[in-house]
Structure 1
Amino acid sequence: MKNTTKLVRLLLIVSSFSIVILVFLKAVQPKDCLSFTVYEVNDGWGYDIQCEEETVIHQPFIPAVPGFNAFNSEDKARETAQFVIKKLRQKRSPQLTVADLKDLNVIE
């Protein structure tokens, strides 16, 4: 009986400690501050990525390709901005490649 009581107490202590650690880790995680806006430029569309209303990426043209060509549709600019935010949330570089742009159907 004493061993069972000790085991139950130990399990309660470990469980309580685990819950405290989980609550603490959840509380100290950085909040997701990323958002985007899509805007019109002279010959198409661009996007900005913001964190707490501060622009951290200003992209008025298609990256990773020569020249300064704007996105040809609002949807393509929006999808690209969403992809960049996804990469940032995965703690990856926001840099886009030609392959990324082809996968997003931004370029052929």
Structure 2
Amino acid sequence: MTTTTNHKSKFFRKKLRKNLSYIFNLFIIVFLIGLLIFIFCQKEKNLNIQSIKVNHGWGYAITNNNRIIIKQTVIPVISEYKSFQTEKEAMAVGQLVMKKLNTNKSPTITKNELILLKIRH
């Protein structure tokens, strides 16, 4: 009778070890995925804006940690290929784009937003 009990005990321990191994591996995978998500979500934004003088007007550039992420040398949304007439206009649109980026919104500009900012085109 001891051989049957011993056999059952070995089988149970082997199965338990296998299940614990799966659970441990699953825990490690979930932990690593969570850590990666945390790291990418916590990436600090260090956004800056600067005006750019171009041939026929002005534009702006937005940088994140000294890397250009947006360089806009023409007025967005309009059908013509024109730069901003003044540095003030370029910076106003750039500030709006930067505000959107800081609130995790799409940085696209609409015609209505250009009108509200009084951008001449």
Question: Alignment length, in residue pairs?
Answer: 82
Q: In structure 2, list runs of 5 or more residues that go unmatched.
A: 1-40
Which amino acid in 2 is paired with 1:41? V
The answer to whether the aligner puts 1:83 opposite 2:93 as a matched pair is no
- Which of these residues, 35, 38, 49, is aligned with residue 36 of structure 1? 49
Report % sequence identity. 32
CA positional deviation for 1:37:
1.1
Q: Which runs of 4+ in 1 moved over 3 A?
A: none
Distance 1:63 1:57 in 2: 12
Structure 2 equivalent of residue 59 of structure 1? 72
Distance 2:119 2:51 in 1: 15
Which amino acid in 2 is paired with 1:37? Q
The answer to whether the aligner puts 1:105 opposite 2:99 as a matched pair is no
Q: Looking at CA atoms only, which structure, 1 or 2, has the larger radius of gyration?
A: 2
Contact 2:51 2:59 in 1 (8 A): yes
TM-score (structure 2 length as normaliser): 0.63
CA RMSD of aligned residues (A): 1.8
